[in-house]
Amino acid sequence: MKIVKVKGKIVDELLSMARSGKIILLNGEFIISRRILESAYLKAERAFNEGTNISRDLGTEIMLYLSGDRQVSRAIEKFGAGKSEINYIIFDGDFNPADYGLTEIEDENNTNEKILEELEKIAIFELKK
């Protein structure tokens, strides 16, 4: 499994690949860091392995964990791809985002300090460090 953060317009071919399960495509606008996405991926994978999943596919289950909501439609509304120029793609095997006009970008929020800073921006209280 590989996760890449990309910038660019999501073309119809990528949306088709996501619908068929070849890749998982997520709106990156509200994903604070790759580490949080990795955690959601692992939880979703565990849910499928244990039979506790709510959705029918891994991509949607990841969206549920990212959103903290158990309503599929709300999770898809927030984290479904194509609404933002910043997206994450999860894939196995050979896949090159550049083949689809996308540019890989760095995820700058991967340190604990950066994650706490981002969480404090959206929190109504200060987090203790």
Task: Give the model confidence (pLDDT) of 94-120 as tens digits.
Answer: 999 999 999 999 877 665 666 566 666
pTM for this prediction = 0.82
Residue 78 tokens read as 């927030």
- Domain membership of residue 127 (yes or no) is no
Helix or strand run (H / E) with residue 124 = none
Closest CA relative to residue 57, chosen from 23, 85, 86: 23
Alpha carbons 99 and 121: distance in angstroms, whole number: 35
Boundaries of domain holding 90: 2-122
Specify if 117 maps to a domain: yes
* Residue for token pair 């921006």: 121
Report the pLDDT value the prediction gives residue 123, as an integer from 0 to 100: 56
Split into its structural domains, the chain has a count of: 1
Amino acid, single-letter form, for residue 38: E
| Domain harbouring 92, CATH code | 3.30.2380.10
Is a pLDDT exceeding 60 seen at residue 86? yes
46, part of any domain: yes
pLDDT digits (tens, 9 = 90+) for 5-20: 999 999 999 999 999 9
- Position 54 scores a pLDDT of 95
Q: What digits encode the pLDDT tens for the residues 21-70?
A: 999 999 998 888 888 899 999 999 999 999 999 999 999 999 999 998 88
Asked if the structure places residue 45 within a domain, the reply is yes
| pLDDT at 126 > cutoff 60 | no
User: Phi, psi (5° rounding) for residue 116?
Assistant: -60, -40
Q: Say if 11 falls within a structural domain.
A: yes
Residue 129 located in a structural domain: no
